[in-house]
A and B are shown apart, each in its own frame.
Chain A
């Protein structure tokens, strides 16, 4: 295929964020990069189905997310050395404190159910709106909201962030109900 210059630009522009999303999902840099690569190959093979004028980034995220769901998720637990791989990518980073914090944070993230994890990343880090995230995940906006709420609550527990131990099951249930109503 010949790649249109504007397409090339948009695709490459989305790569850094796609990688960050993929690494958050996989917990392993090498596998995440493979996932991004497969995503780009698929996307470009189906570039005709991309509607110009719409959000290229969201389109690529959707492909990556669906591919991850169908191919990668089941392999997730087979790989135990994600910490090592991740630490490797951080070697060039000067800030020691940050690394430790990320490691704990990554560890906590890996304990979230995949649907909560992806919702939290899309909304909390990738900068997508709840509506865009719902579109990417193929679910209702309210579902995304409740997943994000549950993800935050669970993360706070896992990281023992101040105040988190006050949230019992009842609180979580209420959060779900509150999120699902909209």
Chain B
């Protein structure tokens, strides 16, 4: 998957656009906030869920 770091920056010419440094700062904050959650990994609730769904099938399906 393409990452934020490798994604080519679009070359906005005219419009409205925010200055380069404003965009960079927004992007940085957004990714920092996002990555902070990503770095929490997979809560056990979800591995347990998959185990349960997997187990359900083995028991219930014929």
A residues whose Cβ falls under 8 Å from a Cβ of B: 1-3, 8, 11-12, 15-17, 19-20, 23-24, 33, 36-37, 40-41, 44, 55, 57, 89-90, 93, 98, 101-102, 105-106, 120-121, 124-129, 145, 149, 152-153, 155-156, 159, 161-164, 167, 171-175, 177-179
Residues of chain A within 8 A (CB-CB) of B32 are 98, 101-102
Within 8 Å by CB of A24, from B1, B12, B34, lies: B34
Q: Is the CB of B57 within 8 A of A3?
A: yes
| Mask: chain B, 9-50; 1 = CB below 8 Å from A; 0 = not | 010101111110111011101111111111111110111011
Query: A1-B57, A101-B29 in contact; A163/B18 too (CB < 8 A)?
Result: yes
What's the nearest-Cβ distance from chain A to residue B38, in Å? 4
Query: A16-B41, A20-B37 in contact; A153/B16 too (CB < 8 A)?
Result: yes
Q: In the complex, which of the residues B18, B36, B41 has the most CB atoms of chain A within 10 Å of its own CB atom?
A: B18
A178 and B40 alpha carbons, distance in the complex (Å): 38
Query: A16-B37, A16-B41, A98-B36 in contact; A37/B46 too (CB < 8 A)?
Result: yes
A163 and B16 alpha carbons, distance in the complex (Å): 11
List 4 other contacts, CB 8 Å, given A152-B26, A156-B18.
Answer: A16-B37, A16-B39, A106-B33, A163-B22
Query: A124-B31, A125-B31, A155-B26 in contact; A2/B54 too (CB < 8 A)?
Result: yes
Q: Is the CB of B49 within 8 A of A2?
A: no
Residues of chain B within 8 A (CB-CB) of A159 are 26
Query: A1-B57, A2-B58, A149-B17 in contact; A20/B38 too (CB < 8 A)?
Result: yes
What's the nearest-Cβ distance from chain B to residue A33, in Å? 7
